[in-house]
Structure 1
């Protein structure tokens, strides 16, 4: 059986992380679960360990990019065949991971992205957030000539080839849209699959309206600059 790990970045998710780990293990008993505690000030790490997850506790907060890349490095160095990326807030349904991992295991893709918008789902979001995602989608499409409907989704799966790349090259802040450009430019097969997602179990998102505007500007600029660069990864 192939070795697969779920990488779960988490910052102050003590109220959610136990349920996330339990659901992953319930749906897939064969799945290793690694929680990256990104400098939490609550009991995130302790709760995750109590529920049976492996835990890496970062001494300082690195942000989503640094936390996820830590998981990628762990997966590469421990020779996992594939890795899933799953949020620690409970938005990503464990029962949907088979949809993500199947194209990887059947070698139909190197990376899969769980999309809320590829087909009609029950997911609801604000109009402003949908507009932001739409604009990012169009920006990416103009660069890579391929359409990705949910470029901000952090619900993803990677094979070994893709893992080697993202473990070495990954943006630190809000990396998901920029990563699509880097991956596609370097010959990585990236596809979307339709998935259902939920609202976070408890708590609130760290992305405020002000941060959303900053996010859009920064990521759009990163995508444009990224499109001007030559390939960064010679290994094929």
Structure 2
């Protein structure tokens, strides 16, 4: 299978080189034939200069699109260039490359269409802040209410899609804070979602776009986004199964 690892990057000059080199080294060691695509989301630091030296594929976006727009560009690239699997990994070092096999194996064995790396199945590794954990529990309840599926770590950006899922996200993918919203999208399209336990670590550089002062805004905005996707897709006759 053709595998593409997509890394969104906005001002990650402190970590992006080590992230890409570690992924390249680890995929070779684990026996996965994978390409790496970095999507530079109009960084204002030296990220793009560093990316050009890494020997990986890259997209240099002319305007800042946010995480959702950057990943949408990456998924479009994956689908249009014939990749069978696309994996999202953050550019800040939170997603260890040695956990890749856990994410990829269920797709390669055709046991799932979407695989999400979860911090909360075993409770080990970096768990994020209390405020963020409370928000994640709220989204778990909301997803359960809307599509009848429990996803413990719906904000996790460590996830992988097969070709069937790429055909969905190539057409539309939520913008700005896409991970929780996409869960409802996948559920209504009847895609098989699976969570696997992974160990994550603290970011190795850069600054998160979500902090305590923005938590209420984030939850309100994402809740509206989730409801918008739910109503739009239900209006097309889609229903979670």
Normalising by structure 2, report the TM-score: 0.93
For residue 123 of structure 1, what is the aligned residue in structure 2?
126
For residue 50 of structure 1, what is the aligned residue in structure 2?
53
Structure 2 Cα separation of the partners of residues 177 and 206 of structure 1 = 15
For residue 230 of structure 2, what is the aligned residue in structure 1?
227
Are residues 153 and 233 of structure 1, via their aligned partners in 2, closer, same or farther at CA, if it must alter by over 3 Å? Answer: farther
Q: Is the 8 A contact 2:37 2:57 kept in 1?
A: yes
For residue 134 of structure 1, what is the aligned residue in structure 2?
137
Structure 1 Cα separation of the partners of residues 92 and 235 of structure 2 = 34
SS of aligned partner of 1:172: coil
- Runs of 4+ off more than 3 Å: 231-234
Q: Alignment partner for residue 69 of structure 1, among 62, 72, 76?
A: 72
What does the per-residue CA deviation read over 1:33-58, in whole Å, with 9 as the maximum and x for residues that have no partner? 00000001112122122122211000
For residue 217 of structure 1, what is the aligned residue in structure 2?
220
Are residues 28 and 233 of structure 1, via their aligned partners in 2, closer, same or farther at CA, if it must alter by over 3 Å? Answer: farther
Unaligned runs of 5+ in 1: none
SS of aligned partner of 1:28: helix
Q: Does 1:98 align with 2:101?
A: yes
Q: Is the 8 A contact 1:87 1:154 kept in 2?
A: yes
Shift of 1:207: 1.6
Structure 1 Cα separation of the partners of residues 99 and 237 of structure 2 = 31
Normalising by structure 1, report the TM-score: 0.95
Aligned residues: 233
Q: Is the 8 A contact 2:120 2:127 kept in 1?
A: no
Shift of 1:233: 9.4
Structure 1 Cα separation of the partners of residues 146 and 65 of structure 2 = 28
Unaligned runs of 5+ in 2: none
Structure 2 Cα separation of the partners of residues 233 and 58 of structure 1 = 35
For residue 153 of structure 2, what is the aligned residue in structure 1?
150
